[in-house]
Amino acid sequence: MSSPISKSAFIKAEQCLKHFYLYKNHPYLRDSLSKEKQLIFKRGTDVGIFAQQLFPNGIDVTVGEKRDQQLFAEKTKHLIAQGVSTIYEATFIFDDLLVMVDILHKHEDKWIAYEVKSSLKITETYVKDACFQYYVIKNCLPDLTDFNLLTLNPKYTLEGELDITKLFKTTSVMKDALKNVEYFAHKTRIAKLTLEQGKIPDIKIGTHCFQPYECDFLGTCWKNTNDPSSVLSLGKLTKQAMFDLYDSNIKRIDEIDINTIEHKEVKIQVKAAIEQKEQIYQQEIGLFIADIQQPICSLDIEVWMPAIPYYQGTKPFQQIPFLFSMINEEEGKIQKYSYFKPIEEDYRKEFLEHILLMTKNFNSILMFDKSLEETILNQLAELFPEYRNDIATLKSKIIDLAEPIRKGNYYHPDMKGNFTLKSIAPIVNQEAGFHNLDVQSGISAMYMYESLLEQNPIEGEHIKEQLMEYCEMDALITYQLLNFFKSKLDS
């Protein structure tokens, strides 16, 4: 066997043996890692390093070494023999299985392992991963007495100095780990057998391609289905419902019997595919628009959710608004306004006051999917009760332009099963759009904002401009979507 089976590889084997085989033998076929995923991994690593402070003065086996896991395992063994009591990234190999654990700590002659998760909740997958780590480590280190998951404590509120012992929540997985020893021995045999067979397992695509994680080889396995006319590009259907169609040999959207479809938002997609043109329910759109009163503006808010609370009185992953952009029209000219909160300061009150001031003269405030904005406004109302009435007034003026699209009253085949603002943007405005921007999503906006903590002022200014450009684009497309609907009614 070339290299041991790591925890990541083992998880892939659990998901799909083809995924595992490709990962081990054809890694060059992997899809490139999206910027969002890279940022999420980076956050995981940062929180892991932060948690080391719970057990200070440990030795990280990966520091100063080239990326050689065999070497890390030897170094771990050596440190244990030397009597070191805290080891970070402790590495173990047993029966050609390799695991690295974030923190290994000796307490009264017994070893305890800790795996850090940048999350508020423990998932089934986290427990399974931890049980696998326990299985390998216990076979190398019989004195291992406990294996814990360290997650962020949703009840923790930053008050004064950060208290790391309260920030993290410790949960032992020993009950599950002890139950599953035989399971891992069995699964390991299957994984090894798959590699020994020396050929890619013949496994069809299915719902498992997304569970528990999106597979890294969609580009390889799904390439023949990457066609907007495929039933697998239908939106508003569960993966299971899509595969029920696909497996019953209905591969193309226009092969579906439209009379068998119950939901309007699916029916409109099928109709668009059959007729190869956009679909609009004019009466419904007309009624929706009738509620909109001049003067109007559009509004978009971006939020930051720091894993480790940054401002007093906040909790892990609390949504902190940091930017809003507003679009309106004056004498036929588009006007833009943005408010950007510096990351160093908790200017949520100023943020709120600016929103209230800027929107107060408008009778309708357009948004696209108001759920985030409404949540933020509700939080601000709790935090600053003196503005509760003003916030209620603002909320009463919100018009959510995602609604007619979500309800299946408008659809264009170019939306390819997506009902997001990004998918409708090129239809609404062919010149403007998100494709030219450095920031492509709310998640990347959030991580870019967080990166301001590490940037120099010149880079920081550049990031601020990029974030404002993104938020303004969101508000602009939302604003133009209303005109787009109106033009459809006129025509």
**Contacts to ligand SF4 by CB under 6 A:** 15-16, 18-19, 22, 203, 205, 208-209, 215, 217-218, 221
Furthest C-alpha separation in the chain: 81
- Burial level of 323, CB count in 10 A (0-12/13-18/19+)? buried
Comparing CB distances to ligand SF4, the nearer of 70 and 207 is 207
- End-to-end, the C-alpha distance of the chain in Å comes to 67
Radius of gyration of the chain (CA): 26
b/e map 235-270, b = 16+ CB within 10 Å: bbbeeeebbebbeeeebebeebeeeebeeebbbbbb
Comparing CB distances to ligand SF4, the nearer of 22 and 439 is 22
Comparing CB distances to ligand SF4, the nearer of 217 and 449 is 217
CA distances from 250 to 40, 205, 244 (A): 36, 15, 9
Shortest Cβ 190–ligand SF4 spacing (Å): 15
Shortest Cβ 195–ligand SF4 spacing (Å): 15
Comparing CB distances to ligand SF4, the nearer of 140 and 215 is 215
Shortest Cβ 16–ligand SF4 spacing (Å): 3
Shortest Cβ 125–ligand SF4 spacing (Å): 15
Shortest Cβ 60–ligand SF4 spacing (Å): 33
The tokens for 363 are: 């009778």
Q: Are 129 and 181 in contact (CB under 8 A)?
A: no
Comparing CB distances to ligand SF4, the nearer of 223 and 333 is 223
Comparing CB distances to ligand SF4, the nearer of 197 and 293 is 197
Cβ within 8 Å of residue 93, ≥6 positions away:
4, 69, 70, 73, 136, 140
Helix (H) or strand (E) holding 391: helix 388-396
Shortest Cβ 28–ligand SF4 spacing (Å): 14
Rounded Cα gap, residues 445 and 37, in angstroms? 13
